[in-house]
Amino acid sequence: MDTKEPKLLDEIKSKFNVEGRIQRERRIWISIDKERLIELCTWLKNQRFEHLSAISVTDWVKEGIFEVTYHLWSYKDKILLTLKTKIDRKKPVIESVTTVWEESAQIHERELHELFGVKFKGNSDLSPLFLEDWHALPPFRKDFDWREYVREEHYDKEDGREVVYYD
Amino acid sequence: MINQMEPAPKDTEYDLYFGPAHPGSGNFGVKLKIDGEIVTSARADPGYLHRGFEKLMEYRTPIQNAVLSDRLCVLEPLNWNLVHAEAVDELMDIDVPERAKYIRVIMAELSRIQSHIIWYGAFSIGTGFDTGFKMAFGYRDYVLDLFELITGGRVYPAGYICPGGVRRDLPNGAMDKILKVLDQMDEMIKLEELENPALDARAKGVGILKVKDAIRLGATGPVLRGSGMKTDVRKEEPYEIYDRLDFEVPVRREGDAYARYIIGIEEMKQSIKIVKQALEELPEGEVIAPKFKKPKVSVKIPEGEVYVRNEVARGEAAVYMVSNGGSTPYRCKIRGPDFLHMIPVLEHLLKGAQIADVPAIYWSLNICPADMDR
């Protein structure tokens, strides 16, 4: 392995007092509190992590948290760095990173707002993206019962051909 | 006394809906606000092909998901097979046999060639050059014949590249047939490269994307390379056997539709080079890891998380897979290149463009709504 991954990780650890690990060549994973997220993101952007590859949310329903992950790629160092931060599932609000990665962050956050119901504070456009007239629970949450939803929205109990879906 | 004329109401502004049933545009629309001939603002309207793959995959085992991953992009299913298979391989710590790695690369590059052919065809018809479209789809069929021979499916390989390797070995005579098809692809590229003043006039200087904007908007792959950034996941983060292969990354500085179109042609040449090298060095041996040799109903995925990136024909593709130890992934985030190309990049490029240039810009981005909506 190159020396650049440990060097970068040490630098982040000493500056921000966070936990992190190197999974393999070119892969660093870091956990950070949501309060310090923007500070770290801004610092990383200045360290040439220019490409925001993706933002994702994992719904840990038993623990009652949403885990928001930011996957950043540096064209200069050729490292993929993942930031993980946890937010309360009952109050899913997090600061938006549009101030750092602008449009590319904006569209990822808009998608996650629709599919998980996470609010990104500071994102100017969180209007619906894929779904039309959606009134149920955000569909990618673990507690969204899609079978139940399809039965209620699209099937008719009185219809002889569709009654089998209610057994 | 002559009354002064009342100023004319501003009736040059109107809305235009581009798509969503436009032939070939796929299931995708763009709402355009137009003043006279100029597009003043554009807003992408995705969602016509949203099938919720990320959720579907949470309910299925990796072998089932391999089949599902075909549908992530209609035009390059084998490349998406590969991203998904690599994520499972890394998560389960599986040693993929050498021969399987070579076959994976051969199939992925053939898939890239036929995807770029469609790109050329769609770009041609978008700019009013019908011959190019028909030529492209004619030549693409040679590659589809190969897919039928090797995977059993012409368009969808039904998870040919699966976790652990590939589903079956190359059949007898497949190598000779691949070489023959590559000769035909050379022929096709020669035709593509013929000077075409009409197409040049429609594409040159149109839809210029500066490299700074491209990075900010999240562009990757041919779109970013067309703006002058030399980057390719196959070079920067070699997966499978790409570190052993000799190929170049074509780059253009102009950043216009024409540059992206030339990148497509150059990449086809490089892919042909890659397939030839891989065929020459193809080793003997098994094509699937022992763990997946016999079809199993359920395989436990060890706890953990991986982020796997690949270079597909359209740009950077990635899968973020999280497992909590069950037989299905707990979360499978799919990052498609067109999610960025078709929303922020397209909106940015269309703003201020002439209405007649909209198709040229649209097609030059190598668009596929399937991997945007997922």
Read off the pLDDT of residues B328-368 as tens digits, 9 standing for 90 and up. Answer: 899 999 998 989 998 999 999 998 888 888 888 888 888 88
ipTM: 0.87
pLDDT in the model for residue B297: 64
| pLDDT band, very low/low/confident/very high, at B112 (cuts 50, 70, 90) | very high
pLDDT band at A68 (very low <50, low <70, confident <90, very high): very high
Interface probe, candidates A130, A132, A133, A150, chain B, greatest B C-beta count within 10 A: A130
Which of B234, B331, B335 is most worth mutating to test chain A (most A CB atoms within 10 A of its CB)?
B331
Reported as type and span, the H/E element at residue B316 is: strand B315-323
Whether this prediction's pTM lies above 0.90 is answered by: no
- Segment A59-74 shows an average pLDDT of 90
Helices B174-193, B257-281: axis angle to 10 degrees equals 160
Nearest CA in chain B to A141: B55
Quote the minimal CA–CA distance from A78 to chain B in Å: 7
Q: Give the DSSP H/E element, type plus range, for residue B14.
A: strand B13-18
So what's the pLDDT on residue B8?
A: 60
Could you tell me the pLDDT band of residue B30, with boundaries at 50, 70 and 90? confident
Phi, psi torsion values for B301, nearest 5 degrees: -95, 125
The answer to whether the Cβ–Cβ distance between B50 and A107 falls below 8 Å is: no
Residue of B136, B78, B125 lying closest to B275 (CA atoms) = B78
| Chain A residues within an 8 Å CB radius of B43 | none
Contacts of B237 in chain A (CB under 8 A): 26, 78, 80
What pLDDT is recorded for position B318? Answer: 92
Q: Cβ(A163)–Cβ(A157) under 8 Å?
A: yes
Indicate the pLDDT class of residue B173, thresholds 50, 70 and 90: confident
Compute chain B's Rg from CA coordinates: 22
**Chains A, B: CB contacts under 8 A, how many?**
77
Q: Do A71 and B320 touch (CB under 8 A)?
A: yes
* Average pLDDT of every residue of chain A: 87
Q: Which amino acid is at B145?
A: D
* CA–CA separation, B8 and B6 (whole Å): 6
Tell me the sheet residues that pair with B45.
Answer: B29
Q: State whether A104 and B318 contact (CB < 8 Å).
A: no
Q: Looking up tokens 């109903």, which residue turns up? A: B297
Residues in chain A: 167
Strands B38-45 and B29-35: antiparallel
Chain A residue with the nearest C-alpha to that of B372: A130
**The CATH number, out of the four listed (1.10.645.10, 2.60.40.10, 3.60.150.10, 2.30.42.10), of the domain defined by the range B13-373:** 1.10.645.10
Domains and CATH numbers, chain A: 4-130 (3.30.460.80), 135-167 (no CATH)
pLDDT of residue A133: 84
Q: Domain residue spans in chain B?
A: 13-373
Angle between helices A37-46 and A4-16 (to 10 degrees): 140
Contact between A82 and B52 using a beta-carbon 8 Å cutoff: no
**Kind plus residue range of the DSSP H or E element containing A56:** strand A51-60
* Beta carbons of B52 and A140 less than 8 Å apart: yes
pLDDT score of B106: 92
pLDDT at B119 over 80: yes
Nearest to B209 by CA among B47, B373, B340: B340
Residue with tokens 């102009």: B254
How many alpha carbons fall within 13 Å on the CB side of residue B79? 27
Phi and psi at residue B15, to the nearest 5°: -105, 145
Letter string b/e over residues B132-142, b meaning 16 or more CB atoms within 10 A of that residue's CB: bbebbbebbeb
What's the pLDDT at A82?
Answer: 92
Cβ of B340 within 8 Å of Cβ of A107? The answer is: yes
C-alpha separations of B40 from A129, B29, B198, B217, B317 in Å: 21, 17, 26, 19, 31
Given a cut of 90, whether residue A24 has pLDDT beyond it is: no
Flag if B220 and A69 touch (Cβ within 8 Å).
no
**How much of chain B exceeds pLDDT 70, in percent?**
95
Query: Which of A4, A73, A100 to probe the B interface (max B CBs under 10 A)?
Result: A73
Residue of A nearest to B28 (CA): A130
Model confidence at B5, pLDDT cuts 50, 70, 90, reads low
A78 closest CB neighbour out of B54, B216, B236: B236
Residue in A73, A103, A140 nearest the CB of B344: A103
Other beta carbons less than 10 A from residue A53's beta carbon: 24
**Which amino acid, residue B91?**
L
CA of B370, closest CA in chain A: separation in Å? Answer: 12
Q: What is the pLDDT of residue B2?
A: 61
Q: Do A53 and B344 touch (CB under 8 A)?
A: no
Chain B residue with CA closest to A99: the answer is B216
Q: Do A54 and B215 touch (CB under 8 A)?
A: no
pLDDT in tens, A75-97: 888 889 999 999 998 888 998 99
What is the share, in percent, of chain A residues with pLDDT greater than 70?
A: 99
Three-class secondary structure of residue A70 per DSSP: strand
H/E stretch holding A69 reads: strand A65-74
Q: A1 pLDDT exceeds 60? A: no
Mean pLDDT across B103-119: 91
- List C-alpha distances in Å: A153 to A136, A156, A164, B48, B49: 10, 9, 15, 19, 19
Nearest CB partner across the interface for B333, out of A23, A56, A73: A56
Residue type, B201: A
3-class state of residue B6 by DSSP: coil
Q: Give B84's pLDDT tier (boundaries 50, 70, 90).
A: very high
Q: What 8-state DSSP symbol labels residue B354? A: B
Kindly report the nearest CA distance between residue B319 and chain A, in angstroms.
10
